[in-house]
């Protein structure tokens, strides 16, 4: 898989998803893509601009690989807010220019 500027920028970062119990393990942080109808599908990931820095703990839960006590709607809200926090950071650092 090709590494983009945004996927590379996720390495070593604080988790922005921040679910309850998040250990913020920066060694496992990756760009966790937010799935939104019309922007992804079978064999197609969303654009990297729809990604949030997430540790493996949070990423596994928002992607549904691990169950947790939060509803699907709550998980989606945590993830969406994380996308906004991540975007603010990459714009501030000049990784993404407007």
Point out the residues that are catalytic: 33
Q: Rounded to an integer, what distance in angstroms lies between the CA atom of residue 98 and that of residue 2? A: 23
The candidate with the shortest Cα–Cα distance to 13, out of 40, 37, 1, 31, is 31
Contacts with 34 (C-beta within 8 Å, 6 or more apart), sequence order: 46, 50, 51, 52, 76, 79, 80, 83
């Amino acid at each position: 898989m090709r590494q983009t500027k945004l996927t590379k920028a996720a390495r070593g970062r604080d988790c922005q998803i921040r679910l309850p119990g998040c250990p913020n393990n920066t060694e496992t942080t990756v760009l966790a893509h937010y799935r939104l109808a019309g922007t992804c599908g079978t064999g197609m990931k969303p654009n990297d601009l729809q990604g949030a820095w997430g540790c493996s703990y949070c990423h596994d839960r928002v992607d549904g690989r691990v169950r947790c006590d939060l509803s699907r709607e709550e998980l989606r809200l945590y993830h969406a807010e994380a996308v906004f926090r991540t975007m603010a950071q990459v714009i501030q650092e000049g990784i993404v220019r407007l």
